[in-house]
Each structure stands twice: as structure tokens, then as C-alpha cells.
Structure 1
Amino acid sequence: MPKLKKQQCHMAKMRFNKKIHQIHKLVDQIGLPLPKIHNLIKDIIETEHTNKEQTCQATQTIHELSESQKANANEEQMFQTICDMTEQ
């Protein structure tokens, strides 16, 4: 293996080990077992996903209501125009 490639592998391994050390430090600070932390994170992600879905549904409903209101306004305007024309 060329020397540069060995150095790159070594640096990557050092960064990986540093990240592992940081994770262990955080786990110690939180004071919960890693599987419990993992489950909490999973629950948070699922909740976030559900919230996004609900937000999308609410946005779609608002859009549909807006379109419906526009259609109703157009119908009312056409009705008023017809009434005005028949009164003349």
C-alpha cells in the first residue's frame, strides 16, 4: 500500500475513533444506556416524520379550502351578474 494511502487510512481511523469517543462521552453525560438513547432518538424521528405528514395534510386541506372559496366567490359573482342583467 502506498505511503499516502496508509496515511489517509490512518487519519480516517483516527477521526472515526474520535467520533466514537465523543459518542461515549455524550452517553455518559446523558446517563442512560445506549439502547435507551437509541430508542428515544428513533421515537423522536418517527414523531418528526408524523408531524411532517400532518403538516402536509393540513397544507393540502388549506389549499383545497382556498380553491373552494375561490370557486364559491366566482359562482356568487356570476349569480350577481345574472341578477343584475335580469333586473335591467
Structure 2
Amino acid sequence: MPKLKRQQHHMAKMRSNKKIYQIHKLVDQIGLPLPKIHNLIENIIETEHTNKEQTCQATQTINELSESQKANANEEQMFQTIRDMTEQQKADTNEEQMFQTIH
């Protein structure tokens, strides 16, 4: 193996050993067995995933409610326009009757 390759391999192994040492040091500081820590990490990841799903569902529900609210507002505006037109029609009819009564 050429000298440069050997040096790169040695450096990679040193970095790997350093990471393993850091992991063992953390495990010792936490004071729990590694499988227990592993399970806790998996639970955290699963909870985070569930939270993201629930957030997406909540956002979708909010968007649907917003669309429904807009539709309801448009419908109410349409009904108000119809009521206004009906009132105007009644007023026009009353005015017409009044003119016919006068003449």
C-alpha cells in the first residue's frame, strides 16, 4: 500500500476511534446501558415523526376550515345580495303602486 494511502487509512481509523471513544464517554456520562439509550433515541425519533404528521394534519385541517369559511362568507354575501334585491324590488313595487294611486 502506498505511503499516502496508508496515512489516509491511519487518519480515518484514528477519527473513527475518536468517535467511538466519544460515544463511550457519553454513554458513561448518561449512566444507562447502550441498548436503553438506543431505545430512547428511537422513541424520540418516532415521537418527532408523529409530531410532524400531526402538524401536517393540523395544517391541512386549518386550510380546509379556512376554505370553508371563505365559501360560507361568499354564500352569505350572495344571500345578502338576494335580500337587497328583493327589498329593492318591493320598494319599486310600492313606489309603482303609489304612482298608480296618485294618477
Common fold by TM > 0.5: yes
Deviations 1:53-87 (A, max 9, x none): 11111111011000000000000011111111121
The percentage of aligned residue pairs carrying the same residue is 91
Quick one: higher RCO (CA 8 Å, sep 6+), 1 or 2?
1
Q: CA deviation at 1:2?
A: 2.5
CA RMSD of aligned residues (A): 0.9
Segments of structure 2 that go 5 or more residues without pairing to the other structure are 89-103
Deviations 1:1-54 (A, max 9, x none): 332222111111111100000000000000110001000111111111111111
Segments of structure 1 that go 5 or more residues without pairing to the other structure are none
TM-score, scaled to structure 2: 0.81
Please name the residue that 1:62 is paired with: 62
Please name the residue that 1:34 is paired with: 34
Please name the residue that 1:23 is paired with: 23
Residue correspondences, number = 88
TM-score, scaled to structure 1: 0.94
